[in-house]
Amino acid sequence: MKEKYGLEIISPFQVEMAGEVHIVQFLINGHGAPHGMVVDADWAKIRPIADHLVQAGYGYSCFDLEGGGTAGFEDVLADWGKNA
């Protein structure tokens, strides 16, 4: 996926929010919010920090980037849009 779509992906991604370090599956730079999109298949990892992520300039999404192929992923990238 990284090569197919030319994505800059950091995995796993550690982010400090609300005084705690949180580890999520991926950060996809260059799309969505100014600091990229935080992605994890487990909503329970994102939910507690969602507001903090947005305030810090990240977007977030919950889906399994590693499983199930890439069907529909082009639509997701188009929906997020590219950032500078």
pLDDT tens per residue across span 16-70: 987 899 999 999 999 999 999 999 999 999 999 999 999 999 999 998 877 655 6
Report whether 17 contacts 25 (CB < 8 A): no
The string of DSSP codes covering 2-56 is: HHHHT-EEESSEEEEETTEEEEESEEEETBSSTT-EEE-S-HHHHGGGHHHHHHT
67 vs 81, residue with greater confidence? 81
pTM reported for the whole predicted model: 0.87
- pLDDT tier at 1 (50, 70, 90 boundaries)? low
Q: Which two tokens stand for residue 13?
A: 């991604």
Q: What is the pLDDT of residue 70?
A: 63
Count of CB atoms situated within 10 Å of the CB of 39: 24
Please, which pLDDT band fits residue 71 given cuts at 50, 70 and 90?
low
Q: CA–CA separation, 44 vs 73, rounded Å?
A: 22
